[in-house]
Each structure stands twice: as structure tokens, then as C-alpha cells.
Amino acid sequence: MTFTAASASRTRLGGLAAGALAAAWRPSPPPLALTAGELSEVEPVLLGAGAGGLGWGRARGTGLESTPAGNALHEAYRHQALAYLLRRTRIAEVVQRLRAAGVEPITGKGWAVASLYPEPGLRPCGDIDLYVGRQDYAAAALALRGEIGELVDLHCGYAELDDRDEAELRARSRVAGAGEDAVRIFGPEDHLRLIALHALRHGLLRPLWLCDVAVALESAAGDFDWDYFARGRRRRADWALVALEAAHAILGARIDAVAAGRRRVRLPRWLVPAVLREWGAARPPHGARVPIADLLRQPGALGRALVLRWPNAIEATIGLGRPFNELPRLPLQLGECVRRTVRFSVRRAQRGLTGASQRD
């Protein structure tokens, strides 16, 4: 198969995934308009992206539920529903351990965004992402030793929200649950911004992330403070708006809550095809790949690993801090490769020096 044909095939498959997930986050989504054959084709993409439950939400009641693909999606849904309930208890335990150490974390992404969906089971709850101020990180890491990594992703600072004032982030955060189960989550404006920027930083590799943007966007109530959402670094605010527009264009998210005057960004023409191609390719995202350092001694594996790491146009734009416009992305993708290589080499050199000084 030629490169062009392979690319077209991936784009088509990504388009099927987008069709399967359109409005899947709503309480009553429209019935799925795929054939059994198309569902069977797209099922591995949905399952691999953690979007099996959402796929089931669209497939149930359509006659497709009894197909093998429908059964696989149903199984994912059941699995995720139980995992969500089990995780809720676990989160409360983890948060209580932090509170006992005098740290009040804010939860975001993963479980926090799963709770925005109309029923457990639609979205996998993922890691428990906990955000603490830099001053609290050491105490938090100590309190959670043994938990970090497998279950808990403890963030030092507020990641994509670090252009916000910590006091304001906390003041705008909300408490979900009650009593010992109470967990603090980001306020809706901060959470939408966090989810949008996180999805873009990872090149919108997983369709699930764009569904997250869509559900958070459509959850925005009448008192959603769009001025505050757009506050902070102008370019980041524009990026976040790009994610909202992408959710609208690709998945049909309702964007009318964003006043016309604020919809100041226009999606570049390359973006939607780039996203669909990625979805069809189903590449593992950053953080779910074998570290490149571990592959340096395996030339065959290294080649494949580099292909997996080729930054897509979105990742390159964010990585180099550029705007989303119609200019060609290839120079940015090459530039992002150089940036990553330099960063990787510097880190290797630093670790080498540290190792040498320890041996001395």
C-alpha cells in the first residue's frame, strides 16, 4: 500500500471513529448510523482509545448490540462502570491520606472528567490525577509513597494551568461528594481549559480526549465565566478555543454557549484531517510508550519507536508554542523533533554526569 493510500485509509477509519463518537457523551445520543461491518472495523480503534463505553452508548438499541463488535463494546462499558465505582472509593482514601498530611489536592482529568458523563461506564476513569502546589509536593509525595505511578498521578504544580493564580484556582475549585468522600475538583472554567490544553499537548491522539472537551463544554452552565476561561496567556487561551472548535467540528459538540465574539479562532484546514488520520492510526500516546533510552541498544525497535514518536502537526504546534494557522506544519514538526532530541540528549548527559560523580 502506498503512503497516500495508507493515509487515506487511516483518515477513513478515523472518520468512522468520529461518527461513532459524535454526541456519545449526551444522556440520549442519536442512534449509531454505522453498518455492522463498519462497527466491526472501528471497534478496535474505540477499544484501544478507551472509547468502548462511549461506542456502546451509541450502539445500544440499534440492533448492533448483538454483533461481536457490539458485545465487545458492551463488555468495555460494564467493565468501566464497575471500575468507576471502585475507583471512587479509592480516590477518597488517597485524598484522605493527603489531608492527614496537611495537603488538600485538586483533582482533574481522569476520574474528575468521567464524573461529567451522564452515566458511569461511558468513560474509563483512568489515573487519579491530583494537583498540589509546588510547596506541598514533597509532603504529598511522602504521604502517597507506594501509590504514585500505578494509580495516582501526582502533579507538582498545576500543569497547563500554571498561568493561573493558585489562590484563585483554589477559590474556584468545587467539592464533589460529601463527608469522607468529598473530593475537591477544579472549577468548570479551569477544568475545561486543562482538559482542552492537555488534549492538544498530546496531539489529540485519543478520541476520548476530544469527547472530554465536548462533555465539559456542554456541561458549562449559564454562570460559566468565559472571561475567566480566556484569562491568562493569550496564546494558551487561543489554543484552548481551538480544542473547543475541534470538538465542535469533529464530534458535533454544541458550542453556542461560547458567545460569538469569543469564538475568535478559526480551525486551520489541516487540523481536522490530521486528527482523523491520528485516530485511524491509533498510535499510543506519550507516557504509554517504551522510553527511547531503553531502545537505544535495539536498532530494529528504535526505528519503529521513532515512527511512533514523530510529532503530529498539533503536538508540534504546541511544543514550539506556535499559533494554529494555515502555515505549513512540516517545519514545525521537524523543529519539534530537534527540540525533543536536544532535550533528550541534555537529560542523558546530565544523568551521565550525575552517575559519574556518584561513582567517584
Partner 1 sequence: MKPRKRRDALVVHELPDEMLVYDLERHKAFCLSKNIAWIWRHCTGQRTPGQIARALEAEIGAPVGEDVMGVALHRLSKAHLLREPITPPASSARTSRRQLLRHAATLGGLTILAISAPTVGQAATCLAAGACVNSHCGDASGRVCCAGAAGCKQNSQTCGTGQTGFQCM
Q: Give the DSSP H/E element, type plus range, for residue 90.
A: helix 68-100
Per CB under 8 A, does 294 bind partner 1?
yes
DSSP conformation class of 70: H
Q: Which of 80, 173, 312, 333 binds partner 1 (CB under 8 A)?
A: 80
x/- string (CB under 8 A) for partner 1, residues 29-58?
---------------------x--------
343 lies in the site for partner 1, by CB under 8 A: no
Among 138, 293, 334, 349, binds partner 1 (CB under 8 A): 293
Near partner 1 by CB under 8 A: residue from 156, 176, 308, 320: 308
Contact pattern from residue 138 through residue 157 relative to partner 1, giving x for each residue in contact according to CB under 8 A and a dash for the rest: --------x-xxxx------
Which helix (DSSP H) or strand (DSSP E) does residue 224 occupy? none
Per-residue burial over 158-183, b = 16 or more CB atoms within 10 Å of its CB, e = otherwise: bebbeebebeebeebbeebeeeeeeb
- In the set 127, 162, 166, 218, which binds partner 1 (CB under 8 A)? 127
CB of 91 to partner 1, least distance (A): 12
Min dist CB 44 to partner 1, Å, is 12
Please provide the DSSP assignment of 282-325 as one string. Answer: TPPPTTSS--HHHHTT-HHHHHHHHHHHPPPHHHHHHHTT---S
3-state secondary structure of 247: helix
287 touches partner 1 by CB under 8 A = yes
Q: Which of 284, 240, 256, 246 has the alpha carbon at shortest distance from 18?
A: 246
90 burial via Cβ count (<10 Å: 0-12, 13-18, 19+): middle
Coil, strand or helix at 148: strand
- Cβ distance to partner 1 smaller for residue 222 or 300: 300
**Contact 51/72 with Cβ under 8 angstroms?**
no
75 near partner 1 (CB under 8 A): yes
Query: Do the Cβ atoms of 233 and 162 come closer than 8 Å?
Result: no
Residues binding partner 1: what is the number (CB under 8 A)? 40
Applying CB under 8 A, does 108 fall inside the site for partner 1?
Answer: no
Nearer residue to partner 1 within complex by CB, 123 or 164: 123
177 touches partner 1 (CB under 8 A)? no
Residues at the site binding partner 1, with contacts judged by CB under 8 A: 50, 75, 78-83, 85-87, 90, 120-121, 124-127, 146, 148-151, 284-285, 287-291, 293-295, 304-305, 308, 347, 351, 354-355
